[in-house]
């Protein structure tokens, strides 16, 4: 026994000593979900976690900042002619990690790969319906022609990471996935299951990062993620539930960015009692969103008075929107006899229960039913749920994303959701898609928001912030609403 404990002690000393030395400028990010494919031209593209990793290895023509509006990245500037001809002026000082130059040809290769009919890219159907052709008109000048005015083109391009063309063709999709090459601030080193290791790109056009090694590691359990952060094994922990923010004390602290996810109560307009818009409006009025924010989210969220949050294009800052009016809600809901059932995923249970509470106060009998994730998706996508509490991520930052998937009548049989359709809304949607004049679009969206608030297929609830746990010895890093990590200025003390 004594020998054994001595050995363990010795091993412990070796292990701890060595890891403390090697971690000097090795920054580790603990993520809640494991990454999908890193290859930007293939699905599954994954969510925020994967995108966070991809954007270290790759750049895109444009990038979203905290305002969500596209900013220059590989494209220095751009102009639009006649609403359909986009000319991008690209940076001329960029090379891929393998030495291939980045130029207009490389950018064309990437866009062509995505719009090609046999493309397996996640954004294929959106981009191929917009882009007519891509032309190289100068070594660093790219011209993209769209079928019709495409106001969402720019923001979609923020999601198209650029791969090294020659290398990609040489390796094929599988080989590329095993060792991806881009122009980003970090180079791919290795991937072991859900741990991805990256190394500093000394020649990064935006300035070489301070830290030499960046690691993304999956730690699914939130308490384990916080423990790893406190133990100093990781320096950033993502997706800290808003009510656990208080746990982040001592050598760790919370870092908060406004979120891009809209939580809402969806009401099936084909089912009683929600066939009556009066009832839907009353339901929306029965909910005290301010109380939700302070009680459930400890203030780390924003109440929503419309199906959009402030950074989103289309958000109406000056309207009163949906308000909390318990008396008006009660007047309508107390006469509703049909009980309602709110479907919800386990993860959103608290929010559904809070909603249920407000509805009962207003005299509407409601029960909450927890449904397994995929079964839940199935039931809402086919439009069978009577009511449901759920969320939609709007990383694009444009109302278009919600309209297209939830309220446009052409959305198809796999996106029935509330079954809500409105010809007037369809016209506004088409008109907004048909112009690149942002002021005109904003005016159209004002009407859209008015219709959605009035017809109330959704009772918008809250827009929670994204909370990260950050080690106190990390500086030069701030979380982003988009979930991207800008790491070039980050340093470890």
State the Cα–Cα distance between residues 320 and 445, nearest whole angstrom: 15
How near is the Cβ of 316 to other proteins at its closest, in Å?
23
State the Cα–Cα distance between residues 436 and 444, nearest whole angstrom: 12
Q: Are 309 and 68 contacting, i.e. CB atoms less than 8 angstroms apart?
A: no
How near is the Cβ of 371 to other proteins at its closest, in Å?
9
| Nearer to other proteins (CB atom), residue 390 or residue 436 | 390
| H or E stretch at 295 | helix 289-296
369 belongs to the binding site for other proteins (CB under 8 A): no
- β-strand partners of 261: 393
DSSP line for 379-430: HHHTT--SEEEEEEE-TT-BHHHHIIIII-GGG-GGG-TT----HHHHHHHH
473 belongs to the binding site for other proteins (CB under 8 A): no
| Nearer to other proteins (CB atom), residue 157 or residue 215 | 215
Please give the residues from 231 up to 270 whose contact with other proteins meets the rule CB under 8 A: 231-233
How near is the Cβ of 176 to other proteins at its closest, in Å?
12
| Nearer to other proteins (CB atom), residue 192 or residue 320 | 192
347 belongs to the binding site for other proteins (CB under 8 A): no
Radius of gyration of the chain (CA): 24
| Out of 99, 139, 310, 412, the residue judged to bind other proteins by CB under 8 A | 412
Closest CA to 486 of 242, 99, 214, 123: 214
| Nearer to other proteins (CB atom), residue 26 or residue 239 | 26
Q: What residue has token string 């989103």?
A: 312
Give the sheet arrangement for strand 195-200, strand by strand: 186-192, 195-200, 213-218, 26-31, 236-237, 466-471, 252-257
**What is the DSSP pairing of strand 131-138 with strand 141-146?**
antiparallel
| Nearer to other proteins (CB atom), residue 98 or residue 129 | 129
Instruction: Give burial (CB, 10 Å; 0-12/13-18/19+) of 207.
Output: exposed
Please give the residues from 383 up to 402 whose contact with other proteins meets the rule CB under 8 A: 392-393, 401
Please give the residues from 131 up to 190 whose contact with other proteins meets the rule CB under 8 A: 177
- The pair phi, psi for residue 437, each rounded to 5°, is -75, 105
The span of 12-20, 64-72, 456-464, 480-488 binding other proteins (CB under 8 A) equals: 12-20
19 belongs to the binding site for other proteins (CB under 8 A): yes
25 belongs to the binding site for other proteins (CB under 8 A): no
43 belongs to the binding site for other proteins (CB under 8 A): yes
Residues found in the chain: 493
- The pair phi, psi for residue 90, each rounded to 5°, is -95, 160
| Nearer to other proteins (CB atom), residue 351 or residue 401 | 401
3 belongs to the binding site for other proteins (CB under 8 A): no
How near is the Cβ of 112 to other proteins at its closest, in Å?
17
The span of 11-19, 83-91, 96-104, 442-450 binding other proteins (CB under 8 A) equals: 11-19
6 belongs to the binding site for other proteins (CB under 8 A): no
State the Cα–Cα distance between residues 157 and 111, nearest whole angstrom: 9
- The two tokens of residue 24 are 């000097």
| Out of 5, 337, 374, 439, the residue judged to bind other proteins by CB under 8 A | 374
The SS3 of residue 108 is: helix
The span of 162-170, 266-274, 300-308, 374-382 binding other proteins (CB under 8 A) equals: 374-382
How near is the Cβ of 491 to other proteins at its closest, in Å?
19
State the Cα–Cα distance between residues 58 and 185, nearest whole angstrom: 8
Q: How far is residue 37 from each of residues 111, 181, 393, measured CA to CA in Å? A: 19, 13, 20
State the Cα–Cα distance between residues 128 and 395, nearest whole angstrom: 20
370 belongs to the binding site for other proteins (CB under 8 A): no
Please give the residues from 203 up to 222 whose contact with other proteins meets the rule CB under 8 A: 215, 217-221
Q: How many residues bind other proteins (CB under 8 A)?
A: 63
| Out of 135, 373, 424, 427, the residue judged to bind other proteins by CB under 8 A | 373
- Positions touching other proteins (CB under 8 A) are 8, 10-12, 14-16, 18-19, 22-23, 26, 28, 34, 36-37, 42-47, 122-126, 129, 177, 193-195, 197, 215, 217-221, 223-224, 227-228, 230-233, 372-375, 377-379, 381, 392-393, 401, 404-405, 412-414
């Amino acid at each position: 026994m004594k020998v054994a404990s001595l050995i363990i002690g010795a091993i412990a000393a070796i292990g701890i000593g060595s890891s403390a030395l090697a971690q000097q400028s090795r920054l580790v990010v603990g993520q809640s979900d494991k990454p999908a494919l890193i290859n930007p031209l293939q699905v599954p593209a994954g969510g925020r976690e994967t995108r966070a990793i991809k954007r270290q290895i790759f750049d895109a023509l444009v990038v979203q900042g905290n305002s969500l509006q596209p900013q220059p990245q590989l494209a220095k500037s751009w102009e639009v002619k006649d609403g359909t001809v986009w000319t991008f002026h690209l940076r001329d000082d960029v090379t891929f990690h393998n030495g291939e130059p980045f130029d207009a040809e490389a950018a064309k290769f990437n866009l062509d790969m995505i719009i090609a009919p046999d493309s397996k890219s996640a954004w294929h159907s959106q981009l191929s319906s917009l882009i007519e052709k891509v032309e190289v008109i100068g070594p660093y000048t790219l011209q993209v022609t769209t079928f019709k005015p495409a106001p969402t083109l720019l923001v979609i391009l923020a999601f198209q990471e650029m791969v090294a063309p020659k290398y990609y063709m040489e390796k094929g999709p599988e080989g590329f996935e095993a060792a991806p090459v881009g122009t980003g601030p970090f180079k791919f080193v290795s991937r072991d299951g859900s741990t991805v290791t990256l190394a500093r790109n000394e020649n990064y056009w935006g300035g070489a990062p301070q830290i030499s090694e960046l690691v993304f590691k999956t730690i699914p359990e939130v308490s384990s993620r916080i423990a790893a952060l406190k133990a100093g094994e990781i320096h950033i922990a993502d997706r800290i539930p808003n009510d656990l923010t208080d746990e982040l004390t001592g050598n760790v602290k919370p870092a908060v960015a406004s979120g891009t996810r809209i939580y809402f109560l969806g009401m099936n307009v084909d089912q009683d009692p929600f066939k009556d818009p009066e009832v839907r409006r009353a339901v929306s009025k029965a909910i005290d969103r301010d109380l939700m924010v302070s009680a459930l989210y400890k203030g780390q969220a924003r109440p929503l008075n419309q199906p959009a949050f402030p950074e989103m294009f289309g958000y109406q800052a000056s309207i009163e929107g949906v308000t909390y009016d318990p008396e008006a809600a009660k007047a309508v809901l107390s006469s509703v006899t049909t009980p309602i059932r709110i479907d919800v995923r386990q993860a959103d249970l608290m929010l559904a229960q809070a909603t249920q509470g407000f509805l009962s106060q207003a005299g509407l009998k409601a029960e909450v039913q927890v449904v397994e994730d995929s079964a839940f998706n199935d039931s809402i996508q086919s439009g069978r749920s009577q009511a449901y509490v759920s969320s939609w991520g709007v990383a694009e930052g444009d109302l278009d994303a919600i309209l297209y998937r939830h309220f446009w009548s052409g959305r198809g049989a796999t996106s029935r959701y509330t079954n809500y359709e409105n010809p007037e809304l369809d016209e506004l949607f088409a008109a907004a898609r048909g112009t690149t004049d942002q002021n005109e679009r904003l005016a159209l969206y004002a009407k859209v928001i008015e219709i959605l608030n009035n017809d109330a297929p959704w009772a918008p609830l809250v827009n929670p912030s994204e909370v990260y746990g950050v080690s106190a010895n990390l500086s030069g890093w701030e979380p982003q609403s988009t979930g991207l990590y800008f790491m070039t200025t980050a340093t470890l003390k």
